[in-house]
Amino acid sequence: MNPKENFDSNFGEASVPASRLVTSLASPIDASCRVPLLVLFSGAALWLVVGLLLSLAAVMTFHKPDMFADCPLLTYGRVQPAANDALLYGFCIPAGLGVMLWIFARLSRAELALPLVPVVAANLWHFGVLVGVVAILLGDSTGFVWLEFPRGGSALLFAAFLLIAISAVATFGQRRECELYPSHWFLLAALLWFPWIYSTANLFLVAWPVRGVAQVAINSWFATNLIFVWLALVGLGTAFYFLPKLAGRPLQTYYLALFVFWTLILFGSWMGITVSAPLPAWMSAASSVAAALTLVPVLAVAIITFKTVRGVPHGGISCKGEPFCYIKFGTAAFVLSALMLIAEACPQISRVIGFTWFGPAQVQLQILGFFTVVMSGAIHELLPCVMGFGLPFPKLVRLQHWLFMPGIVLWAGSLAVGGVAQGMKLGNPQTAFADSTAAALMFLRVGTTGLLFILLGSLLFATNIFIMTLKWKLALFKSLLAAFKAPLATPSASASLRRDRAVAEGKGGEVKP
Amino acid sequence: MRNGVIVFIAAFIALGVSWCGFVLAPVMQLGTEKQAAVLNSSDVYPIGRPGEANQGLQVYRANGCAACHTEQVQQSGFACDVMITSAGTNPPAVIAAWWRMQTNFFPNEMTQRFYSVIPNSGGVPQFPFERVRKEIADIAVESFQNVGAKAEIHIIAIGPDIERGWGLRRSVAEDFLYDQPVQLGSLRAGPDLANVGARLPDANWQLVHLYAPQALVKNSTMPPFRFLFEVRKIGNAPSPDALQFSKAFAPPAGCEVVPKPEAKQLAAYLSSLRADAPLYEAPFTPIMTKP
């Protein structure tokens, strides 16, 4: 196998979408990821729904401002950051980590190392998110964008991330060949990125806060490195694994991907300081230059994706709604959202769209359009392998895609257009301020429909995952029952079920199949 | 790339460099910042907020006002106004000098926005040149002085935010010296609040606005913060703090709306928001009264 093809044909099903391998039994490698992934993904699916519900509650302010006038928990200024954090910390990061663990196990051709550690960590993580989101709703936010969780929640997240990283690195260490795949670089870098930026931000802003506007610089640095760079690393690492696998041809090309990796981490990490901030001018100048340079990896991602999928069956932009579509759509959304981010850093453009809904539009496109879509595609693809049985409602996969796609276009699109309309009015002091609000209002209201579509899609996603978990628990329970009834007849329970049981009972990897 | 260590080192270097740039450097450059001298005065700026306003900043944080409001005024540059403070003994010469300058030297530059004349001077304009470049203002002042008038230059910040009346100058680092957390905000779903204390100094207006924004601003999309207030039966005597509303927003008969301590703190914080000291890095001439 040649890593330059980033094309792991381990089990020969590369050309057959796994969702169709309904009856195949999971390989030991896949099965080793089962329990950690289920915990990560089912929690994530729940947070996705919760986050979108909170987003909906937030946007309702623009339909009926006094809706939550008597309810401090749901006032816009609390529910809006809570929604964003639930989506990012609740869904994006754990989903990304789960997919990452599985990709590492697959690429290493080894079972997940220390499988119990990520199970504990996943529970810690989701508990940490719960603590954080509830704290925000109770008015205990730190006030820093994307870092709203108070200390307790952040500490839990940090510890959980480290635990998962340990398991991921150990799995990585078990690999049989030396050469790395493109996905490896992106995902490994992400493992380093998060603890670094998260600890820096928490130490300098929350634990021992620095004085004055240095907070603004650190907060912007953290937010960009998390929302742009970290999500890009994990999302692209995942896309660069699945694209060649689903297209049935190597990534086009290995060297271009290497180039993307380098330029992304070198330039992307300098973005985010806006021209408007009351900071020394060199900072925003450096950020603007970095943004211009980030154009290079972004265009390279577009080329890689286009060349990899062009001409293969179901390739190109044709689409039926299977996981392949998710990944293609997600990568396209990444390119678009990155272009929007770069545009915001350009002083001439930011004069119009600065401080408008264009910024939130970019964030929503990045989180929902890019990351959530890539992750749900990947999860739909890998979950049947991991579980050893197909999705309970494979048709919902397509339906979800056809809800997500228009939903995201409508939601992020109308926010962006509304932002431009608002910005044109804001920049002209002869128009009243209220006109700028009014200009964006109509778009916000239209966009709400898009948000509803996305919410429906996420419900389908959660349904598939929860029914799957339920089925698995039921099977587990049955096999336990059988084992209890006929202690000597254990061979009847399949090997993988016994492994699950062992993990569930807390014995980890000690069980011999 | 052949092994994981190289990837780690690559990522380490890339992130490390940006960490030095955007974390370490700002901490060293800005973290030790001190109060600055106010231009043409012996005062320093800023002086910390009073205690109640400081508590109000936490109410502002807890309720996420920064999700809709920024606290950063932008400015696109400077301009100068030339003001004649005394027409001197020969007003006609001053007027002649003014005409000469307009027609001969910079016919395109003069923009006089508020026409006013100095009383009893036979028509000497008070602001002969407005919004002009510094070089021009310097020449003008010199010319006026040559014919016996007294003139001075006023530095004015310009830009859409300033014209909206959101501030007298751009926001600078000093404005946020004592804020914890610093909440610049990034979306203007509502107006910029960096100078709201100077713009809307009436605490009672602020309280009524927080309780029912729509009562003061028609079609406001700002959510009411009624939970910061208490609606209670009027006791033996009405509370001195009770707010007055128009009919549509008034509480039920026999009840009164009284701000909770949080609301009062928040109003105190809003009144404390005023960045009106001219500083070296963002100068302007603090003349508030214009005809």
A269 interfacial to chain B (CB closer than 8 Å) = yes
The reported pLDDT for the residue numbered B225 is 96
CA-to-CA distance for A241 and A107, rounded, in angstroms?
Answer: 9
Cα–Cα nearest to B72, from B164, B185, B157: B185
A81 interfacial to chain B (CB closer than 8 Å) = yes
The reported pLDDT for the residue numbered A129 is 98
Residue A43 placed within a domain: yes
Q: Which domain holds residue A406?
A: 18-504
pLDDT in tens, A344-383: 999 999 999 999 999 999 999 999 999 999 999 999 999 9
User: Which pair of structure tokens corresponds to residue A183?
Assistant: 């996905």
The reported pLDDT for the residue numbered B95 is 86
Query: Contact B22/A172, CB-based, under 8 Å?
Result: no
CA-to-CA distance for A132 and A156, rounded, in angstroms?
Answer: 10
Q: Are A337 and A391 in contact (CB under 8 A)?
A: no
SS3 B133: coil
Mean pLDDT of chain B: 88
pLDDT in tens, A88-147: 999 999 999 999 999 999 999 999 999 999 999 999 999 999 999 999 999 999 999 999
B14 interfacial to chain A (CB closer than 8 Å) = yes
Which of B24, B27, B72, B182 best probes binding to A when mutated, by most A CB atoms within 10 angstroms?
B182
B187 interfacial to chain A (CB closer than 8 Å) = yes
Query: Contact B30/A280, CB-based, under 8 Å?
Result: yes
How close, in Å, is residue A409 to chain B by CA atoms?
A: 21
Phi, psi of B163, deg, nearest 5: -65, -30
The reported pLDDT for the residue numbered A320 is 80
Q: Which chain B positions have a beta carbon within 8 Å of A279's beta carbon?
A: 26, 30, 173
Query: Contact A81/B62, CB-based, under 8 Å?
Result: no
Q: State which amino acid sits at residue B239.
A: S
- Rounded alpha-carbon distances, angstroms, from residue A365 to A146, A211, A234, A485: 16, 33, 16, 53
Query: Contact B67/A80, CB-based, under 8 Å?
Result: yes
Axis crossing angle, helix B4-19 with helix A151-173, rounded to the nearest 10: 150
B130 or B63, greater pLDDT: B63
Q: What confidence tier does B136 reach under pLDDT thresholds 50, 70, 90?
A: confident
Query: Contact B8/A356, CB-based, under 8 Å?
Result: no
B190 interfacial to chain A (CB closer than 8 Å) = yes
Which residue of B4, B27, B187 is in closest CB contact with A210? B27
How close, in Å, is residue A384 to chain B by CA atoms?
A: 29
Residue A119 placed within a domain: yes
Query: Contact B31/A212, CB-based, under 8 Å?
Result: yes
What is the widest separation between alpha-carbon atoms in chain A?
Answer: 86
Which of A216, A221, A293, A353 best probes binding to B when mutated, by most B CB atoms within 10 angstroms?
A216
Q: Which residue of B has its CA nearest to A423?
A: B188
Residue A340 placed within a domain: yes
The reported pLDDT for the residue numbered A20 is 41
Q: Which chain A positions have a beta carbon within 8 Å of B18's beta carbon?
A: 221, 225, 269-270
Domain count, chain A: 1
- Rounded alpha-carbon distances, angstroms, from residue B207 to A21, A166, B164, B266, B268: 64, 53, 23, 9, 10
Which residues, at least 6 apart from B169, have a Cβ–Cβ distance to it below 8 Å?
B73, B75, B157, B162, B275, B278, B279, B282, B283, B284
CA-to-CA distance for A387 and A402, rounded, in angstroms?
Answer: 25
Q: Which chain B positions have a beta carbon within 8 Å of A286's beta carbon?
A: 21
Q: Which chain A positions have a beta carbon within 8 Å of B7's beta carbon?
A: 180, 184-185, 188-189
CA-to-CA distance for A407 and B234, rounded, in angstroms?
Answer: 50
Query: Contact B62/A139, CB-based, under 8 Å?
Result: yes
Query: Contact A270/B18, CB-based, under 8 Å?
Result: yes
Q: What share of chain A has pLDDT > 90, as a percent?
A: 79
- Rounded alpha-carbon distances, angstroms, from residue A3 to A21, A29, A179, A253, B116: 25, 19, 6, 11, 79
Q: What confidence tier does B119 reach under pLDDT thresholds 50, 70, 90?
A: confident
A337 or B234, greater pLDDT: A337
B8 interfacial to chain A (CB closer than 8 Å) = yes
A195 interfacial to chain B (CB closer than 8 Å) = no
Query: Contact A75/B225, CB-based, under 8 Å?
Result: yes
Query: Contact B191/A433, CB-based, under 8 Å?
Result: yes
ipTM for the assembly:
0.91
Residue A4 placed within a domain: no
Query: Contact B224/A69, CB-based, under 8 Å?
Result: yes
Residue A447 placed within a domain: yes
- Rounded alpha-carbon distances, angstroms, from residue B252 to A67, A142, B245, B247: 19, 37, 11, 10
CA-to-CA distance for A167 and A184, rounded, in angstroms?
Answer: 15
Query: Contact B175/A278, CB-based, under 8 Å?
Result: yes
- Rounded alpha-carbon distances, angstroms, from residue B251 to A218, B222, B230, B255: 45, 20, 10, 6
Residue A144 placed within a domain: yes
Residue A13 placed within a domain: no
CATH assignment at residue A476: 1.20.210.10
Number of A–B residue contacts, CB under 8 Å: 225
Q: List chain A residues with pLDDT less than 70.
A: 1-25, 314-318, 487-513
- Please report, in angstroms and rounded to a whole number, the separation of the first and last CA atoms in chain A: 28
User: Which pair of structure tokens corresponds to residue A482?
Assistant: 């059988």
Domains and CATH numbers, chain B: 37-74+164-272 (1.10.760.10), 77-158 (3.30.1390)
Residue A468 placed within a domain: yes
A263 interfacial to chain B (CB closer than 8 Å) = no
A57 interfacial to chain B (CB closer than 8 Å) = no
Query: Is the pLDDT at B222 greater than 90, yes or no?
Result: yes
How close, in Å, is residue B89 to chain A by CA atoms?
A: 41
SS3 A228: helix
Within 191-250 of B, beta carbons closer than 8 Å to A belong to: 191, 213-214, 217, 219-227
pLDDT in tens, B263-272: 999 999 999 9
Q: Which residue of B has its CA nearest to A258?
A: B1
CA-to-CA distance for A305 and A299, rounded, in angstroms?
Answer: 10
Query: Contact A204/B11, CB-based, under 8 Å?
Result: no
- Rounded alpha-carbon distances, angstroms, from residue B211 to B205, B259, B264: 10, 9, 12
